[in-house]
Structure 1
Amino acid sequence: MSIEIRDLTVRYGRTVAVDSVGLDLAGGKIYGLLGRNGSGKTSLLSAIASYRKPSAGVVLIDGEEAYENPRVARRTCFIRDTLDLSDSDRLRSALDLAARLRPTWDQPYAEKLLDVFQIDPGKRVSALSRGQRSAFGVVLGLAARTPLTILDESYLGMDAVARTLFYRELLADYLEHPRTIILSTHLIEEVADLFERVIIMDRGRVIVHDETDALRGRGVTVTGPYEAVTAFAAGRVILGEQTLGGVRAVTLDGHVDPGEIERGEAAGLSFGPIGIQDLFVHLTSQPLEASR
C-alpha cells in the first residue's frame, strides 16, 4: 500500500506535534522512522493509521483518504508500544479477535511466533512481563500480514535475544510476504540494516527522507591539523566539531568525492564514515533551520 501525505498537521491544543508534513512512501518497502522523544513520530503514525484525525492536510492510502475509511482500516495494522488491550483480556481472545478483523491473518504463523517468544496464549495480559507484552504486540503485528503494517517502538521491554528474534522474523516474513512496513525505533544501529528507506523527524517536521545506503555515504569525519581541517571544511556544512590542542575533528554533511579525499590525505588529514545513528544525532541536535 502506497502512502501520500499532503500538508499534514496534528495539533494538541496549542502544541503542534506534526507541522505541515509532506511525504510519498512507495508500497512494498520497509521504512525506518527515527526521531527524538517528542519529535512527532507517534502522532504521524497515528494519523497514517487513522487513529487520529489530522488537524489539517490529508493522508491517502492507495489513493483513498485514510481517516474513517473501513477499506483502508481492514488492511492496516498499527501496533503501539502500549499494547491496546485490557489487562483482563486473555491472549487467546485477542488472537481470535485479530483473526476476525484481519482478512490476511495467518493463525499458524501466530502460533509459531508465540512459540518463538515463549508466550502462553492462555494467560491474561496482566500476567505478562513488559517484554512479553512487547513480544505479543509483535505477534499481532506480523501475523496480521496487513498490506500496511506499522510498528511503533514495539521492541520496548524486549531483551537483546527477543529483539534479535523479532528482527529475523520481520525480515524473513517480509521477504516471503512483501508489504509496506513502517518501524519506529530508537535502536538505530541495531535495526538499520532492515530499512530500505529512512525518515528522520525533528520537532514535528521531516528533515530527512532518503535511501538507507545514501544516508550511510552522506557524511564524513575529517581529522587532522587544525589549519588543514579548517581549509578542507570551508564552505561545507559542519554538523559537529571537536578541537584538542592543534588537532581538529569535524563531521561534515554531504558527499566527498575520492579525489578530494586523496588530496586531503596528502595534506595530513584522515577520513572516516559516519553511521546513520551518528548522522541522526548530529542532525537532530542542530537548530531547526540548520537541520533542514
Structure 2
Amino acid sequence: MNGYAVSTENLGLSYGRTPALTDITVNLAADRIHGLLGRNGAGKTTLMSVLASLRRATRGTVRIDGQDPFENQSVMENVCLIRESGDLLVDERLKTNLTFLEGARPHFDRPYAESLMEAFRLNPRKKPQALSRGQASAFGAIVGLATRAPLTMFDEVHLGMDAPSRQRFYNELLTDFAERPRTIVLSSHLISEVEHMLETVTILHEGRLLLSGEADDLHARGATLTGPAATVDQHASGLQVVGTRNLGPTRQVTVFGDLDEQALEAAEHDGLQVGAVPLQDLFIHLTEPQPEEQAS
C-alpha cells in the first residue's frame, strides 16, 4: 500500500455569500505526516471535509492520487477522515462498528483494532452513546489507525483524551506509520505535543493559506536564546521577539526572521544556548491579529 498525494489549486468554498476557503493551493506528498494548523474557524475542518468529499468545492480543483475524489468510489474508500463527531453507527455496539468497517474499508485491520481497544481499555460491547468524550475520541483514533487508508486525516482527534491516552495515540501513530507508510494529515491545537511528528506544516488563517512548507524550514526561520536574562536581552536587542519565558534568573526568548550567523555565534560565545524556533511560538506570531485588525 502506498499513500496518496494530495493537491489543491485555487480551492475555494463558500456558504452562500460567506467564503470559508479562498484560493487554497497546497501540495502534500505521499507517505508523509502533514500538520494542518490554524486557529478556531480558520478552515481546517472545511478543507479536510472537501478532501474527504463530504463537501464539494465552489471553485478550484482537488486531486487525490491524481484524481478528482468527488463521487469517486475507488478513491474515497481509501480516504479516511476522523472527526470528533465520530461518524459511527451510534445504535450499534463498538464491535459491530468494527465489523461494518471491516467490510467497508479495504485495508481495515480487525485484529489491530481489537488490540488497540484493549490498550485504550474500551469495552467492545458498549455503544458509542455510552462512551465518555475521552473514550469516544480514543475509538475514533482506533478507527483511523486500523483503517490504514492511503490518506488518513485526523481532525482534532485528541479532544477529550487525557494526557496518557494522547501519548498512546501518538506512539501508535508513529509506530504504525513506520511499518506501513501512508499519507497522514493531522490537525491539532496542541502544537507543542505534535510538532515532533510533523514533516510538513500548513497553516490556515481566516480561510486563507498562510504558509505551507517543510517543518525543518519553518523551525529555521528564527531561534531560541536561553541563558541569564541580562545576556539574553543584550543579544535579542533589535530582533523581533515573538515569545518570552522566564524561570528564575534564566530567560528564553524566541526571535523570528533571518538571523545573522555571526550574531548567533556571538550568542553562543557568551554562553547562551541557541536552539530552533518552537512551532507554537511561530504559529502564534503568524496568526496574531495585527493592531489595525484589532482596532477594526
TM range (shorter): 0.7 to 0.9
Counterpart residue number, 2:194:
191
Counterpart residue number, 2:233:
224
Return the alpha-carbon distance in structure 1 between the equivalents of residues 165 and 261 of structure 2: 41
Change beyond 3 A, Cα 1:289–1:100: farther
Identity %: 44
Return the alpha-carbon distance in structure 1 between the equivalents of residues 158 and 12 of structure 2: 27
| SS at structure 2 position matched to 1:224 | helix
Return the alpha-carbon distance in structure 2 between the equivalents of residues 4 and 256 of structure 1: 32
- What is the identity, as a one-letter code, of the residue corresponding to 2:179? E
Counterpart residue number, 1:156:
159
Q: Which moved more, 1:169-178 or 1:79-88?
A: 79-88
Q: TM-score, normalised by structure 1?
A: 0.87
Contact 1:49 1:78 in 2 (8 A): yes
Report the Cα offset of residue 250 of structure 1: 7.8
Return the alpha-carbon distance in structure 2 between the equivalents of residues 46 and 288 of structure 1: 33
**Is 1:12 aligned to 2:15, yes or no?**
yes
- What is the identity, as a one-letter code, of the residue corresponding to 2:147? A
Report the Cα offset of residue 260 of structure 1: 2.9
Counterpart residue number, 1:80:
83
Report the Cα offset of residue 283 of structure 1: 0.6
| SS at structure 2 position matched to 1:64 | coil
Return the alpha-carbon distance in structure 1 between the equivalents of residues 128 and 268 of structure 2: 59
Report the Cα offset of residue 14 of structure 1: 2.5
Report the Cα offset of residue 221 of structure 1: 5.3
Q: TM-score, normalised by structure 2?
A: 0.85
Contact 2:32 2:199 in 1 (8 A): yes
* 1:136-157 C-alpha deviation (Å, 9 max, x unpaired): 0011111000100011001100
Contact 1:30 1:180 in 2 (8 A): yes
| SS at structure 2 position matched to 1:182 | strand
Contact 1:9 1:20 in 2 (8 A): yes
Contact 2:23 2:209 in 1 (8 A): no
Counterpart residue number, 2:26:
23
* 1:161-180 C-alpha deviation (Å, 9 max, x unpaired): 10010001001001111000
Matches for 1:237-248 after TM superposition, within 5 Å:
238=240, 240=242
Change beyond 3 A, Cα 1:91–1:269: closer
Contact 1:131 1:159 in 2 (8 A): yes
Report the Cα offset of residue 274 of structure 1: 2.7
Return the alpha-carbon distance in structure 2 between the equivalents of residues 33 and 289 of structure 1: 27
> Could you tell me which of 166, 173, 176 is aligned with 2:179?
176
Contact 1:224 1:270 in 2 (8 A): no
> Could you tell me which of 122, 126, 147 is aligned with 2:125?
122
Could you list the runs of 5+ residues in structure 2 that have no partner in the other structure? 226-231, 245-251
Counterpart residue number, 2:102:
99
Matches for 1:201-280 after TM superposition, within 5 Å:
201-220=204-223, 223-225=232-234, 229-230=237-238, 233=239, 238=240, 240=242, 252-262=255-265, 273-280=276-283
| SS at structure 2 position matched to 1:113 | helix
> Could you tell me which of 34, 37, 40 is aligned with 2:40?
37
Report the Cα offset of residue 267 of structure 1: 10
- What is the identity, as a one-letter code, of the residue corresponding to 1:284? T
How many residues in Structure 1 have an aligned counterpart in Structure 2? 277
| SS at structure 2 position matched to 1:59 | strand
- What is the identity, as a one-letter code, of the residue corresponding to 1:58? T
> Could you tell me which of 92, 112, 115 is aligned with 1:112?
115
| SS at structure 1 position matched to 2:23 | strand
Contact 2:89 2:97 in 1 (8 A): no
Report the Cα offset of residue 261 of structure 1: 2.3
Contact 2:255 2:277 in 1 (8 A): no
Counterpart residue number, 1:246:
none
